[in-house]
Structure 1
Amino acid sequence: MPIVPVRAAIYLRVSLDLTGEGLAVERQREDCIGIAESRGWTVVEVYTDNSISAFSKVKSRPAYDQMVEDYRAGRFNALVTWDLDRLTRQPRQLEDWIDAAESQGLRLVTANGEADLQTDGGRMYARIKAAVARAEMERKGARQSRAQRQRAEKGRPPRGVRATGYTLDGEIILPEAEAVREVFHAFANGSSLRAIAAALSGVEPVIREVGDRTKVQDLPKSVPPLPSRSGRAWNPTSVITMLRNPRYAGWSMLDGEIVRDTTGKPIRGQWDPIVSDSIWLEVQHRLDDPARKSNRAGTERRHLGSGLYLCGTCEARVRAHNDRYRCAGHIMRSRAQIDGMVLEYVRGRLAKSDLADLLVHQDDERLASIADQLQTQRDRIKRARTDYKNELIDGALFAEIKSEAEDQIARLDTERVTLTAGTAASAILLAPSPVDAFDDADLAARRAVIDLLCEVRLFSAPRGRKPLDPKSVRITPK
């Protein structure tokens, strides 16, 4: 019977490469190649996963996955790794390699000589070692989770991946923090997630030709380009992750949730916030708003009054239709004429000296009280749901408790929005020249200022008259 040549693969892995120099995997490589050469095996491939953990079964290990595919394709019939826990910490994955050794003759050895799956003793040792390693990793994970919770309960910065704008110790990185602050303000002003991601990525505005007109994507001018932590372009999901992070408002967090003390009060972090409570709450309200997520109201606005001006006949919000504003069956008005009149009114209002009266006087104490009451009502629903599942209360009582709590949540949410409304637009009102700041602002910020200052209602105009009839536009100060 002809001798089947041994084609060996080598698998190298280290969980964390602190220096990025790959020295640990290089040491593994030298030892594994020495084992293969001592047995007269031909090394056909070396697979390397540097700085990747094998503890999580859902975490991708590209080189490992490729090695599995290559083995199934018959590229090699021997495998050398420095230690079994370098190959896998998952007992199920280990059993797959044991099956391959038993049923298909795969030679699998470790460079430290502790395991040879060709023997029953080696297989027994491998299973015991894998079980011990798995248990130790689980204990380590529990210790780390408890330590993270303890840090969070004391208001200390979490360990691990740092948040954009902060060092791992909670110190502010000024250029990043300024970008984060502008992201919050831009979204609160009405900019879309897509436009913010494009601005952060430093892309040029998208220019589209529609008929005989040119449309340019309106990006928030205040948001500077900022390299992402991953090195890839920003996307709406990564922007949402930033906007949802309570750390930026100075609240301690764990697993994306605000950490609370035994009384249910949010714990303040031992670091300086980048945005105010009111801006963070306003952003959460907009993210949670079902209308924003719908196709009708959640799309990016490209015109000053679309979805903002009201139809004087039915009070519906008008939409842009070619070069006009339209409410089906009621009005069809020239966009340029209407916008010109509104802009003239807003510039006149911004030029007055009493702008300070328009600014929201933030009541942080009341906002904190509202946040506590909202959490109380949410906890009430959660407890009632648990009691219902445990058959301590019936469905009718659960529905009653839930309805009462939701009514309270709606009332508190309305008050919270009233207290925080307009805070994003206040940057323009506080500028040395509010008129110039308004003219230099992006579309979303100008819309926010208009919404803060007035309501605009459009009425039908006499046919055949091209000049704008001022009586057909009603601008009501707020």
Structure 2
Amino acid sequence: MPIVPVRAAIYLRVSLDHTGEGLAVERQREDCLQIAESRGWSVVEIYTDNSVSAFSKVKIRPEYDRMVEDYRAGRFNALVTWDLDRLTRQPRQLEDWIDAAESQGLRLVTANGEADLQTDGGRMYARIKAAVARAEMERKGARQSRAHIQRAAKGRPPRGVRATGYTLDGEIVPTEADAVREIFNAFANGSSLRAIAAALSGVTPVVRPIGDKTMVQDLPQSVPVLPTRSGRPWNPSTITDMLRNPRYAGWSMLDGAIVRDAAGTPVRGQWDPIVPDGVWLEVQRRLDDPARKSNRVGTERRHLGSGLYMCGICNALVRAHNDRYRCAGHLMRSRAQIDDMVLKYVRGRLAKPDLADLLVQQDDERIASIADQLQKERDRIVRARADYKSELIDGNFYKEIRSEAEAEIGRLEAERIDLAVGTAVSAILTAPSPVDAFNKSDDLAARRTVINLLCEVRLLPAPRGRKAFDPRTVRIKPK
């Protein structure tokens, strides 16, 4: 009977390479090559998954998958790995290799001794080892999950992937933190996720052609170029994840949500926030706004009053139509003259010396007052719960107190979000010269936010038979 030559494959894997130098898989390689050499086997391929976990069944292991395909193609008939748990931690995958050993005579060798899958004793050993490894990983996962919950409850920085702007220990990285701050401000001011991602990546996105023109998005000028750790361009979905992260406002988080204590009070993190509460709340409101069409290219307004000025007849928002503002069936007005009038009013309002103090301090004081009231309502629920447990009040009374307090908490939270409007434009409002800052701003979204913060603009139809612009047809109401 002819001797079938042994063509061996080697599979190497570590779950986490802390240094990125591949030293662990190199040690595995040396041991596995020595085993193949001692048996006189010819090594036809070495498959390496460095820093790839085998615990999750949905985790992609590129080299493992390539090895499976090569085995099916008959490229090798022996497999060398450092240990069975390096090959797989999934009992289902192990059964595939057992079937291969039984039906096709695959030889499988580990650095700690031969795992003879062609015998019932060897298969039992392999299955027990895989089950024990799986159970240990599940226990480890449960311990880690409990540790994450405990850290979040105490307001400690979360472990795992480092958040842009912070070290793993919660220290601020100045350059990244400045970029994060500008990302929040730009989005709160009206910039789109796609435009922010393009600005961070240092590219200019081209919007789909409109008629015979190609429209190019206005990028937020304040957002700096910031290379990603992977070297790939920024993605709008990554920007969304960043904007949703309460950690940047100084709140402890777990699974993307703010952690609250037994009284329902948000837990403050043991690190410095990068953005104020007001900006973070403003961003959440804009992300949740159903009117924001975040899934379309070029959603940013390209004209000052489009979607901002209102029709004086039906109160609908006017839209840009060529060089005019239009409300179907009611009016068609020249954009340039109206915009000049609105800008003149805004500059006059910005020139008033008390503007910044009036807008910023008033909101901040009220937000602080609301925070105190929220705490009182939550404390009221805690006291009522304690009284109920001590049988000082009955269940109906406790339920009534809790319902009243929760309703007031909801009202206060809504007011707090409303007061956050406009805090993101404080760079303009608190500048030494708000007028100069407004004039120098190249960010159309920021200008629109300032206008919306200061006034309400309604357009009326132009008088019949008159070609000259009539300023009485533009009604600007201060806010």
Q: Provide TM-score, normalisation by structure 1.
A: 0.88
Q: Which residue is 1:365 aligned to?
A: 368
* Structure 2 unaligned blocks of 5 or more: 380-402
Paired residue type of 1:472: T
Instruction: Indicate conservation of the 8 Å contact 1:109/1:117, yes or no.
Output: no
Q: Which residue is 1:235 aligned to?
A: 235
Q: Which residue is 2:477 aligned to?
A: 476
How many angstroms does 1:116 deviate by?
2.4
In structure 2, C-alpha distance between the alignment counterparts of 1:240 and 1:374, rounded to whole Å: 32
Q: 3-state DSSP class of the match of 1:80?
A: strand
Question: Where do 1:171-190 residues align within 5 Å?
Answer: 171-190=171-190
How many angstroms does 1:239 deviate by?
0.6
Matched, 1:163 2:166: no
How many angstroms does 1:293 deviate by?
4.3
Q: 3-state DSSP class of the match of 2:292?
A: helix
Cα 1:134–1:294 change in 2 (3 A) is closer
Deviates more, 1:127-136 or 1:230-239: 230-239
How many angstroms does 1:462 deviate by?
3.4
Deviations 1:125-183 (A, max 9, x none): 11111111111111111111222222212111111211111111111111111111111
Q: 3-state DSSP class of the match of 1:47?
A: strand
How many angstroms does 1:338 deviate by?
1.8
Cα 1:261–1:326 change in 2 (3 A) is same
In structure 1, C-alpha distance between the alignment counterparts of 2:114 and 2:125, rounded to whole Å: 8
Q: 3-state DSSP class of the match of 2:337?
A: helix
- State the superposition RMSD in angstroms: 2.7
Q: Which residue is 1:267 aligned to?
A: 267
Question: Where do 1:47-196 residues align within 5 Å?
Answer: 47-196=47-196
How many angstroms does 1:357 deviate by?
1.9
In structure 1, C-alpha distance between the alignment counterparts of 2:275 and 2:51, rounded to whole Å: 34
Q: 3-state DSSP class of the match of 1:79?
A: strand
Q: 3-state DSSP class of the match of 1:361?
A: helix
In structure 2, C-alpha distance between the alignment counterparts of 1:449 and 1:462, rounded to whole Å: 30
Deviations 1:267-326 (A, max 9, x none): 111111111111111211111122224789993222111111101111000111222211
Q: 3-state DSSP class of the match of 1:165?
A: coil
Deviations 1:412-450 (A, max 9, x none): 454223321211122211012212211232011001000
Q: Which residue is 1:462 aligned to?
A: 463
Paired residue type of 1:215: M
How many angstroms does 1:42 deviate by?
2.0
Q: 3-state DSSP class of the match of 1:333?
A: strand
Instruction: Indicate conservation of the 8 Å contact 1:183/1:196, yes or no.
Output: yes
Paired residue type of 2:30: E
Instruction: Indicate conservation of the 8 Å contact 1:77/1:105, yes or no.
Output: yes
Instruction: Indicate conservation of the 8 Å contact 2:189/2:446, yes or no.
Output: yes
Cα 1:370–1:330 change in 2 (3 A) is farther
In structure 2, C-alpha distance between the alignment counterparts of 1:4 and 1:451, rounded to whole Å: 81
Cα 1:337–1:2 change in 2 (3 A) is farther
In structure 2, C-alpha distance between the alignment counterparts of 1:307 and 1:358, rounded to whole Å: 24
Question: Where do 1:318-357 residues align within 5 Å?
Answer: 318-355=318-355, 356-357=357-358
* Structure 1 unaligned blocks of 5 or more: 377-402
Question: Where do 1:205-220 residues align within 5 Å?
Answer: 206=206, 210-211=210-211, 215-220=215-220
Instruction: Indicate conservation of the 8 Å contact 2:22/2:50, yes or no.
Output: yes
Cα 1:180–1:25 change in 2 (3 A) is same
How many angstroms does 1:352 deviate by?
2.1
Cα 1:19–1:417 change in 2 (3 A) is closer
Cα 1:82–1:212 change in 2 (3 A) is closer
How many angstroms does 1:366 deviate by?
3.9
In structure 2, C-alpha distance between the alignment counterparts of 1:16 and 1:330, rounded to whole Å: 65
In structure 2, C-alpha distance between the alignment counterparts of 1:90 and 1:358, rounded to whole Å: 60
Deviates more, 1:111-120 or 1:270-279: 111-120
Q: 3-state DSSP class of the match of 2:424?
A: coil
Instruction: Indicate conservation of the 8 Å contact 1:205/1:218, yes or no.
Output: no
Q: 3-state DSSP class of the match of 1:155?
A: coil
Q: Which residue is 1:40 aligned to?
A: 40
How many angstroms does 1:77 deviate by?
2.0
How many angstroms does 1:232 deviate by?
2.0
Q: 3-state DSSP class of the match of 1:300?
A: coil
Deviations 1:33-86 (A, max 9, x none): 222222232222111111111111112211111112222222222211111111
Question: Where do 1:289-300 residues align within 5 Å?
Answer: 289-293=289-293, 299-300=299-300
Instruction: Indicate conservation of the 8 Å contact 2:165/2:173, yes or no.
Output: yes
Paired residue type of 2:417: V
In structure 2, C-alpha distance between the alignment counterparts of 1:234 and 1:471, rounded to whole Å: 47
Q: 3-state DSSP class of the match of 1:292?
A: coil
How many angstroms does 1:207 deviate by?
7.0
Paired residue type of 2:9: A
How many angstroms does 1:459 deviate by?
1.4
In structure 2, C-alpha distance between the alignment counterparts of 1:278 and 1:55, rounded to whole Å: 41
Instruction: Indicate conservation of the 8 Å contact 2:192/2:294, yes or no.
Output: no
Q: 3-state DSSP class of the match of 1:424?
A: helix
The number of residues matched between the two structures is 452
Cα 1:194–1:2 change in 2 (3 A) is same
**Percent of paired sites with the same residue:** 79
Q: Which residue is 1:394 aligned to?
A: none
In structure 2, C-alpha distance between the alignment counterparts of 1:25 and 1:15, rounded to whole Å: 10
